[in-house]
Amino acid sequence: MTGTLDGRTAIVYGGGGGIGGGVARVLAREGALVCLAGRTRGRLDAVAEEITAAGGRAETAVLDALDEKAVETHVQDVAERHGGVHVSFNLVSRGDVQGVPLVEMTADDLLRAVDTGLRSSFVTARAAARRMIAQGSGVILHLNSASGAGAMPGMGSTGPADAATEAFMRYLAAETGPSGVRVCGIWTAGVAETLTREGLAAVAGENAPDPRAALAAIAGASVLRRTPRLADVAEVAAFLASDRAAGMTGTMTNVTAGLVLR
C-alpha cells in the first residue's frame, strides 16, 4: 500500500518536540523521508529511532532555526541529496509569555515571541520556498493557537505573534502560488499529550495552572468537550502536505476541537 507522501522529503523544524515528533511520525508513515531539525540532538535522535523502528525513514540535523546561514545550508544539502524539498514545517518554540496583563508586561516579553516566531518562520519558509519555486511544487506549513484571529484576554504575547506569522504566510502564499507552492497553517490549542507542567511554567511562570486543570478548562470551553489530540494535528498536517489538499493555500485549518469557531 502506497502512502500519500511517497517519494517526498519533509523538513520538520522542532522535530524533537511533542507536536513536531508527532507530526514527523505521521509524515513518515505516509511515505515521506523526514528530516528532523532542532537544537537538541538527543530528542531528535529519539524521534528518528522511533520512525525507523516503525519502518519509516528519518535523519537529523542539529541547527538553530533562527540561523539563516545554517538553515539555508541545510535545505540546500537536503535538496541535493534527496532530489528536492517538498514539505517544510516550522514548529520551534517562541518564548511566549501568558497570564500577565498587557499593561504589566515588558516590551521584551511582548516582542520575544513575535520576533522569534516571525523570524524562524521567515528564515525556514524562505529557504524552502526558494527550492520549491525552482522545482515547481512544495508545501510550507505552520501552526499557532488561533489567538491572532481574535481577542483572548490573558494570552499575552501569543496573539500578536500568531497574527504576525499568519500575515506573513498569507503574503508568501500569494507570491509563491503561481510557482506551484502552497502555504497552509493549522490552528490548535491544548494538545493533550504535549501539555506539561514544565511547558506551562515556561509560558505562564508562577501563574501556570496544573496541566490537568488546564486541559479540563479547555475541554469545557470546546464545542466537542475535549482537547485536540496529537493525532488530530498530525493527521491534518499530513493531509495538508499531500495532493489531497492541492486546492488549499493561504488559509488556516481549525483543529481546536471547537475551542475557536471560525
**What domains sit in the chain, N to C, each tagged with a CATH number?**
9-191+230-254 (3.40.50.720)
84-132 per-position pLDDT tens digit: 999 999 999 999 999 889 999 999 999 999 999 999 999 999 999 999 9
pTM of the model: 0.94
Q: Which of 153 and 78 is assigned the larger pLDDT?
A: 78
User: Average per-residue pLDDT in the chain?
Assistant: 93
Question: What's the one-letter identity of residue 116?
Answer: T
121-150 per-position pLDDT tens digit: 999 999 999 999 999 999 999 999 999 887
What integer pLDDT is reported at residue 189 of this predicted model? Answer: 87
Say how far apart CA 102 and CA 23 lie, in whole Å.
33
